[in-house]
Amino acid sequence: MHRIVHLDFKGAPLKVQYLDQVLESIRQWGATGVLLEWEDTFPYSGELSIIGSIENCNGDHMYTMDEVQQILQAIKSKGLEPIQLVQTIGHMEFVLKHPAFRELREEPRSPAVLCPTKPKSLHLVKAMIQNALDAQPDAKYFHIGADEVWHTAICEDCQRKASVSEHKATSLFLDHIKDLLIFLKMQRPKMNVLMWDDMLRAIGFEVLEKSNIGKLVEPVVWNYNVAEHFFVGGELWRNYRIFPKVWAASAFKGANGSCQMLSPVSRYMSNQQAWIREVQANADRANFTGVILTGWSRFDHYATLCELLPVSLPALYSCLSIWIHPNDSISSLTHEVLPENQWAGLAVARAVHSLVALRDRANQLLHGDAVSTWLNPWQVERGYTCPVQVDGIAGTANEILLNLQCLERELSAQLSYITGPRSADEWIGSNITPLVSKVSALHRQAARTATEQPSVRPVL
C-alpha cells in the first residue's frame, strides 16, 4: 500500500531548502509519495495569474515555477511519488474571492463553492488543471479535491438545471466531476485521478454505478477521528465496490481544532489505528491502494494557521511507523520527540512548546484569582488598591512579558528559515502579539498601582 504524506501549502508554504530536509526524513520514515496541495502558492499563469504566486497573492513569495520544478524533482529524486492537488468545485476561496471570478460563485456571499453549471466554471478549472499538468509531464497521479461542497443548487442556473435533471442537485455535482475526469483522461489516459469522497457518500449505489464514475476516479475516503469516534461503515464500502481502487485518508496534523499549536501524537495515532482496523476488516470488499496521511495547515482558506509542520513531525513519524508495523504495540511506535538530527525545524518546535506553556501561565495570571481579587476592573476604575498586593502581579507579569518577547524574537528568526514573511507574520501576530499586548497592559497597570499609596476610599 502507498503511504502518501499530504503537504498543505495553503498556510506556511515551506521554503524549498527546508522542504528538502522534510522530504529526506519522510523518505527514511517509509513514505512512498507526497500530495502537494498548492492552493494559492502555485504560479498559475495567464488569466489565472492573479490567483497564485505570480502576483504574490499569498504574501509569502512562494512558489516560482522554478521552485515548483525543484520540489517535484526533489520528491522524485528521493524515490517518492509526487501527486498534485487542485481543487475543482469546493474550497475555491482562493479563486472566487477575486472580483474577476465572483460571478462564478454558487452562493454570492461565499467564495467557497464554484457554480458547476456556468460554462466559464468548467473553463476555469480546466485551465487550472492544465497549468498543473504542464508543470508535471510525467504525472502518474492527480488529485481533484472536490470535498466539502457546502452550497449546491443555489444560483438560478443550477436550480433550473437541477429541476430537470434525473438526480436533481446530485446530477450537477456528478456531471461537473465527470466532465473534469473525462478531460483528464483525454490529456493523460494512463494517469490515476483521485478525489476526496465525502460528496459521494450520500449518493446511492445505483446512481454511482450508472454514472460510470468508477472507471474514471479513485475515491479517497477520509476520516480523521480518534478510534472512539471513528466510523466509516459497511454500506459505504458496499457502494464503493463500483471503484476498482480506493484510498484511505487519515491525519497527522491539523485535525484537532482549528487554532491548535501542538499535535498530540497519541490522538493522531489513534486515528491511524482505527484506519488500519477498518482497512483490515474490509480488505475483501475494497481494494485499498494506499493511505494519505493528511497534514492540514488551515481548516479553510480564511482560517488561521493551525499546527506548524516542525511541531508535527514526531506525529508524522509515529503515524507512518504504525502503517509499516501495524502489529507492533502502539506505545512502542508513539514518539513525542525525535532525535535532533532527524527533526527538521527543531528550534521552531521547541519555541512553540515553550510558548504554549508560557501562554498557560499568562492566562492563569490574566484570568486568575490575584487579578480578580486585588486588581479587578472595578478596583482599577475606582482607584481602590493596595500596592503590596499588586506588587506580586507586576513581578509575575514582567517575567512573563520578558519571556514572551524573547520567544517572539526567537520565533521570528526561526520561522524565516521554514516559511515566508506573511505566514511568519500571521503566526506571530495571531499567537504571540495579542498575548504580549494583554500582559503588557496588565504589567503597566500593576506597576503603576504598586508605586501608589494604599487607597483611602473608592472614587465613586
Catalytic residue numbers read 148
Using rule CB under 5 A, residue 262 touches Zn ion: no
Residue nearer to Zn ion on the CB measure, 177 or 442: 177
Site for Zn ion in 384-423 (CB under 5 A): none
The neighbour count for residue 139, using CB atoms within 10 Å, is 21
Shortest Cβ distance from residue 169 to Zn ion (Å)?
10
Cell of 39: 492552493
With CB under 5 A as the contact rule, the residue among 23, 71, 158, 194 that binds Zn ion is 158
- Helix (H/G/I), strand (E/B), else coil: 85: strand
Segment interacting with Zn ion, rule: CB under 5 A, options 15-23, 33-41, 100-108, 428-436: 100-108
Using rule CB under 5 A, residue 117 touches Zn ion: yes
Shortest Cβ distance from residue 150 to Zn ion (Å)?
13
Burial class (CB in 10 A: 0-12, 13-18, 19+), 166: exposed
CA atoms within 13 A on the CB side of 95: 27
Using rule CB under 5 A, residue 89 touches Zn ion: no
Segment interacting with Zn ion, rule: CB under 5 A, options 92-100, 112-120, 176-184, 248-256: 112-120
Asked if 261 and 356 touch (Cβ cutoff 8 Å), the reply is: yes
With CB under 5 A as the contact rule, the residue among 19, 31, 115, 439 that binds Zn ion is 115
Shortest Cβ distance from residue 142 to Zn ion (Å)?
25
Segment interacting with Zn ion, rule: CB under 5 A, options 99-107, 139-147, 287-295, 363-371: 99-107
Return the DSSP state at 13: P
Cβ partners under 8 Å of residue 411, min gap 6: 348, 351, 352, 355, 424, 427, 428, 432
* Helical (H) or strand (E) element with 442: helix 433-450
Shortest Cβ distance from residue 104 to Zn ion (Å)?
8
Segment interacting with Zn ion, rule: CB under 5 A, options 148-156, 210-218, 238-246, 274-282: 148-156
With CB under 5 A as the contact rule, the residue among 36, 83, 155, 305 that binds Zn ion is 155
The neighbour count for residue 259, using CB atoms within 10 Å, is 13
Distance in angstroms (rounded) separating the CA atoms of residues 380 and 162: 62
Asked if 307 and 263 touch (Cβ cutoff 8 Å), the reply is: yes
The pairing of beta strand 218-222 with beta strand 246-253: parallel
Distance in angstroms (rounded) separating the CA atoms of residues 230 and 242: 24
Residues that bind Zn ion (rule: CB under 5 A) add up to a total of 6
Q: Which residues bind Zn ion (CB under 5 A)?
A: 106, 115, 117, 155, 157-158
